[in-house]
Structure 1
Amino acid sequence: MSVPMEIARRVADAVLYEGYLLYPYRASAAKNRVRWQFGVLVPPAFTATAEPSASVTECVLERAEDAVVRLRLRFLHVRTRSVERAEGDDHRPVAELRSGERTYLTFDEATEREVEAVLPIAALLDAEQTVQVRVPGDRSAELIIAPTGRQEGRVVSEHLPLRASLRAVAERVPGPYDLVRLRVRVENTDGWDQPDGTREQALRRSLVSAHLLIGVTGGAFVSLLDPPEWARPVAESCRNEHTWPVLVGEPGHRDVVLSSPIILYDYPDIAPESPGELFDSTEIDEILHLRTLTLTEEETREARATDPRAARLLDMVGDLPPEVVERLHGVIRYLGAPQEKPPETPWWDPAADAAVSPETDSVIVSGVAVAKGSRVRLVPGRRRADAHDMFLTGRTARVEAVLLDLDGARHLAVTLDDDPGADLHRSHGRFLYFAPDEVEPLGDEVAG
């Protein structure tokens, strides 16, 4: 494997397992009961959550007519794990079973899947090429034998079959720069026919954390985030759906793109201080390490039984030598010139602009003036990338301030009506923030 592709794979692995299992890594934790938030391509018939069944990646190559692209589709395949207690000649599903010193929990796992296709650009210029993805199902059972030798139960694991497709096509871009636009559609084509089924059922026939690694030989990709001026119009015309393609590998190289379901920048990399997989890449490794060490013996037992990867994580955290732990504390990567004289009032302080008054300013939403004290219903917009926002849809809140950013856009700082810690958040100035078009006024009613 080439160095750029190896770097790309490290980053892709972090994307693959982002949110796989969150601290405290226990099945009973509330935030681990609603899983698989990123890059989920559900069966087309499942519409209850409005999650997509397909993603589209468009990127631009130069000097590419004789090039060859390598498409590598990677995703997780949900594997159900059901614990069953032995009862006579039969078995009964249970949430938990203890045998000797071991604990067995009913909890879903996931298996890595990877599909690769090598396609000449010349063939893609003539017609769309389709690669069928077929993943067969399987089922296995592991007996649970007590120290006395008696069978106490079994663990039944099952993958349901998956069907998907990769459809790739390329087109020449008119103009003097010899550019080609590549379009790849990843689609779940499963024939699941239970539109009223639950999300948990649909996930078993979904591509989870789906993303693409696209390598090119005999050509070069153009950055979509920071294209050269001569390629900017073409780069800006690319339409990506549910993915974010960025250059990966060694900085300056342009032969590998990662099309990720989460927003990244060009040439992302894993911090060299990171000791291993913690499954929560948007968190700080030091915090996760220290918090994991505080788990009680009972919590640790449950975490080990939750998932084999959680068990390995606990072993890693417990075995880190002091010098590695010290490296997690922080590092300076960039140094800028010292500021000669700090401003008397920081730019981010509302007091820096006398024309701004968060306490009294208002903004018109659907013909209603919204100001401090107004009550609103939250309807987070599609442009948001934070998966936690979906849990706030429909909740009611109290406006605490109307803020103005440096670009002249208004924002509403709010606290949730049903949050028992609202008074504490208010006293510390810690709010949730929404744009005016992400709330609905609740008439003239004002919160007390």
Structure 2
Amino acid sequence: MSNPLENGFEQARTVADAVLFEGYVLYPYRASAAKNQLRWQFGVLVPPAWTATTGEHAVQRTECLLEPRAGDRLHAELRFLHVRRRTVERLDADGGYTEVPELDLPDRVLVPWDEGHEERVLIHESLAELMGDQAAVHAVRFDLPDAVEYEPVTDTEGRTLGRLVRRRKRLTGELRPRIEELPGPYRVLRLTVSVHNTTLAPKGTGTDRETALAHSMIGTHLLFGVPGGRFLSLTDPPEWARPAAASCHNDHTWPVLAGPPGTEDVMLSSPIILEDHPAVAEESPGPLYDATEIDEILSLRTAALTEREKREARGTDARAAEVIDLVDDMPEAVRDRLHGAIRGLREITGDSLPGETRPAAPETGPTLPEGPGHPWWDPAQDPGATEVPAVVVIDGESVRAGSRVLLRPGARRSDAQDAFLFGRHATVEAVVGDLDGETHLAVVVDDDPGTDVRRAQGRFLYFKPDEVAPLKEEAT
């Protein structure tokens, strides 16, 4: 794998880890906490026999578009967690071991816990070999058999006090990659990769979710890379590729362009909705596993845990122990940085951010030009910005402030709530432009009880012209 591609994979893995370990262990990071009794929320693929009783799925399917260009090989990486059930045993006087609910040590309290062990399955195949009837030959099967591991527990002087026992249940699966060339003026390939949990349910086992999880793939996601090639965004594809993008069928996954902005040779297929080129905020001090974008509150709450609670967290899981150490050793400057960050916002006052030097503001202070119908941050307020037309033509009808439209959000939008707005009537408040020179319609939904507040605060919903249809009988 080329270095540029590996760099893209590495950034994608960092983002994927936020998905893979989301909910892995929740604050207060102790096994005894009620919210740590129900885990593994995303990307769970159970054996086929357990789909009906658990409500989970046995198959995940990804379809995306690829322009091969100079690329001739596909590099794919399947990543997931495999449960390892850990029990705690105390060393008896006769040299035997007895299972106990906890083992209280000076630095930690060891308790039973379901650990997640990261597994990877790799594919490196030529694009030609994955096309047509040859694709079936290249299905990748894997088998993780039953296993038991023992880890001694010792005190500070090296004396054995007990042991941890980790049991892994059998898990088998299969990756089925396939490529087909789509008709059209441009050479575009549709890449389909399905992930199957093929584990057979052992005789005499229960049918509950807890039992199924031991044989399941958790946080399942895929990374794709084609050096020299180009993946097409499914959320905002080129105009010529929209029909092909709409024909892609994805089950229980969401493929997006990954790697740094401007790169298109890496794609991440995630079990949760992401935008293209997702990235972990540079202010984040490290993984906290509980959720994203709340690092500050999690850090402050973790710092407030009692010493006994911290010892139990350290004994719950190695990753929980890392969280406790991360917060305990966090420099004050890093903690301050978690309070908030501003990105892409032009300076509107003479104040500087902490640690930032800015030119002195004029004595009279900066002023903002006013414009009717435009929020203060709209580029239309910038005297040097490209002029935005007051009227746009949609389906042969003129649409302006005051026009009423039918909302029909397109596939490019990544906000899941847009599905609830499809087919609703709205009123256009303004025609505005963004910093990229794109035109948008600022609207309020007609039957929204908060319309007056939205108008007063300038908090509108924004759609591109091709995402609305004029209500012709009321067009002005």
2:246 corresponds to: 236
Residue aligning to 1:6? 10
Q: Secondary structure in 2 aligned to 1:217?
A: coil
In 2, the alpha carbon distance for the partners of 1:333 and 1:168 equals 39
1:354-433 matches, within 5 Å, as 406-407=444-445
Gaps of 5+ in 2: 349-367, 374-413, 418-425, 427-442, 450-476
Quote the residue 1:400 is aligned against: none
One-letter identity of the residue aligned with 2:126: P
Give 2:86's aligned residue. 81
Considering only CA atoms, is the larger Rg found in Structure 1 or Structure 2? 2
**Which of 74, 95, 117 is the aligned partner of 2:123?**
117
8 Å contact 1:65–1:180 — kept in the other structure? no
What is the identity percentage for the equivalent residue pairs of Structure 1 and Structure 2? 50
In structure 2, relative to structure 1, the CA distance for the partners of 1:139 and 1:202 (3 Å cut) is same
Please give the alpha-carbon distance, in whole angstroms, between the structure 2 residues aligned to 1:197 and 1:96. 28
Q: What is the SS of the residue equivalent to 2:179?
A: strand
Which of 272, 275, 280 matches 1:270?
Answer: 280
Question: 2:356 corresponds to which residue?
Answer: none
**Which of 44, 59, 64 is equivalent to 2:64?**
59
Instruction: Quickly say closer, same or farther: Cα 1:207–1:410, change in 2 above 3 A.
Output: farther
Tell me if 1:280 matches 2:286: no
When residues 342 and 78 of structure 1 are mapped into structure 2, their CA distance, relative to the original with a 3 A threshold, is farther
- SS of residue matched to 1:108: strand
SS in 2 for 1:74: strand
Pairwise CA distance, 1:251: 0.8
Partner in structure 1 of residue 37 of structure 2: 33
Over 3 Å counting, the alpha-carbon distance change for 1:224 and 1:280 in structure 2 is same
1:249 and 2:271 matched: no
Matches of 2:447 and 2:77, distance apart in 1: 40
Tell me how many residue pairs correspond in the alignment.
Answer: 360
Q: Which moved more, 1:230-239 or 1:14-23?
A: 14-23
1:327 equivalent in structure 2:
337
Residue 49 of structure 1 is matched in structure 2 by: 54
**What SS does the aligned partner of 2:13 have?**
helix
Measured against aligned partners, the alpha-carbon deviations of 1:114-164 in whole angstroms (never above 9, x if no partner) come to 111111111111232301122233212234456798865432112223211
Give yes or no for contact 1:248–1:258 (8 Å, CA) kept in 2.
yes
Pairwise CA RMSD: 3.2
Name 2:396's counterpart in structure 1.
none
Closer, same or farther: CA 76–141 of 1 in aligned 2, 3 Å: same
Cα 1:384/1:141, change in 2 over 3 Å: farther
Distance 1:235 1:148, change over 3 A: closer
Structure 1 residue runs without a partner (length 5+): 344-382, 387-403, 412-448
Q: Distance in 2 between matches of 1:385 and 1:19?
A: 21
* Counterpart for residue 178 of structure 1: 187
CA deviation map 1:85-113 (0-9, x unaligned): 45556544332122455421011111111
1:283-330 CA-partner distances (Å, limit 9, x unpaired): 411111111111112211111111111111111111111111111111
CA shift in 2, pair 1:120/1:16, >3 Å:
same
Assess, with a 3 A threshold, how the Cα gap between structure 1 residues 92 and 409 changes in structure 2: closer, same or farther.
farther
Residue 220, structure 1, aligned to residue 230, structure 2: yes
- Which deviations, in whole Å up to 9, do the C-alpha atoms of 1:65-84 show, x marking residues without a partner? 96211110011111110012
Cα 1:27–1:175 shift into 2, 3 Å: same
| CA distances 1:260-305 after superposition (whole Å, capped 9, x unpaired) | 0111000000111111111134241111111111111221111111
Corresponding position of 2:102: 96
What is the DSSP-based 3-state SS (H/G/I as helix, E as strand, rest coil) of the residue aligned with 2:86?
strand
Q: Quote the offset at 1:219 in angstroms.
A: 1.8
The question of 1:164 aligning with 2:173 is answered yes
> Following TM superposition, by how much is the alpha carbon of 1:169 offset from its aligned partner in structure 2, in angstroms?
0.7
Q: Deviations over 1:352-401 (max 9, x none)?
A: xxxxxxxxxxxxxxxxxxxxxxxxxxxxxxx9989xxxxxxxxxxxxxxx
Shift in alpha-carbon separation, 1:308–1:225, aligned structure 2, 3 A: same
Cα distance, 1:260–1:408 mapped onto 2, change above 3 Å? farther
1:126 aligns to 2:135 (yes or no): no
C-alpha displacement of 1:25: 0.6
CA–CA separation in structure 1 for the residues paired with 2:185 and 2:278: 31
Query: Secondary structure at 1:51's aligned position in 2?
Result: coil
Higher strand share: 1
* CA deviations over 1:210-242 (Å, ceiling 9, x no partner): 100000123210100100110011111111000
Q: Is contact 2:18-2:292 (8 Å) kept?
A: no
Query: Closer, same or farther in 2 for the Cα pair 1:339/1:4, shift >3 Å?
Result: farther
- Supply the distance in 1 between the matched residues of 2:416 and 2:208 (Cα, whole angstroms): 23
TM-score (norm 2): 0.69
The yes-or-no answer on 1:18 pairing with 2:28 is no
Contact 2:54–2:208 under 8 Å retained in 1: no
Deviation at 1:406, TM superposition (A): 4.4
Q: Give a deviation string over 1:9-53, Cα, whole Å, max 9, x none.
A: 211222221111111111111111101111111111112121011
